[in-house]
Amino acid sequence: MSEAPARLAPLGSTLRVLEPAPGVLAFYDGRIPGVRLHSAAENWLDDGAFALGIASYAVIDGEDALVYDTHVSLAHARMIRRTLEEMGVRRMRVVLSHWHDDHVAGNAVFADCEIIANAETDALLRANRARLEGADPPIRPLVLPNRLFEDRLALKVGAIPVALIQMDIHSRDGTVALLPGGLLLAGDTLEDPITYVDEPERLAAHLEGLKRLAALGVTRILPNHGAAEVIAAGGYPPELIEATERYVARLLQLKRAPELAALDLAAFAADAFATGAIGWFAPYEAVHRRNLEAVLNRY
């Protein structure tokens, strides 16, 4: 019996608002079997972000809010902004975790706000502007950041201190946000269950970045791609960093042990799953196959 075609849902209609910590909201969408948002044809929104599950975050204190990534569409971004305004927020700033499409697609909704990114993110957005604006779906116009930093930037959201820290993980331009008590907004530096390899030539640098991330004293982790129920319950334990380190280290073994590429995700990443920090999720089998191809094609 053939599988029923996926239902096309209106953009934003499946968005869920979670509260993983006091003063922190997660705007979560995806991981809904049989549902797509953009089209039946393969596209970055449905087959990347939505299939894997994606969250943007907001840190809120009184009339101040810091939005961490603007989500996968203008409709999603409008819902984020409307939710915050209905809560009494009057001053919003945006932080971009990195330059990839599913993190910047809603920027135009916040064009009148301060949009903060590290200088590398700004450079990559400019270099890839035509690609992003011509993508399916297009991000047009692509609104660029208007405040740049390098390495670290200290902010306050109301009375809440937030440290923005540049990280060379997943993408050379990563920015994580460290909140009081060791709560980390991780962007795509960490995912459940495995990282998406976008820069296979830089895996060794990413592994060093993970060691730097582990030294920050993180207690809970809120990744952009993860399980809604784990995010809603307060996020992932620090062992998520260890699980990612183990998977990346295993990928680096492919050069001398290409036979590892025959293993499925569960077998290849058995030691990562053994940390207890990640759970198997079927769509990541395709991510794993793509990761293997990206790494092997380097050699």
CB atoms within 10 A of CB 155: 18
- CATH number of the domain at 76, please: 3.60.15.10
Backbone angles phi and psi of 128, in degrees to 5: -105, 15
Confirm whether 2 is domain-assigned.
no
Does residue 272 have a pLDDT over 80? yes
Q: Which residues contact 183 (CB under 8 A, 6 or more apart)?
A: 21, 24, 218, 219, 220, 221, 222, 235
Give the DSSP H or E segment for 19: strand 16-21
Q: Where are the beta strands (DSSP E) in 211-253?
A: 220-225
Q: What is the Cα–Cα distance from 181 to 219, expressed in whole angstroms?
A: 7
SS3 248: helix
Residue 81 pLDDT greater than 90, yes or no: yes
Identify whether 1 is part of a domain. Answer: no
Given this model, what pLDDT does residue 299 score? 72
The structural domain count of the chain equals 1
Residue 221 lies in a domain: yes
Structure confidence by residue, pLDDT tens digits, 92-141: 999 999 999 999 999 999 999 999 999 999 999 999 999 999 999 999 99
Domain that holds residue 175: 7-296
pTM of the model: 0.97
Asked if residue 5 has pLDDT above 80, the reply is no
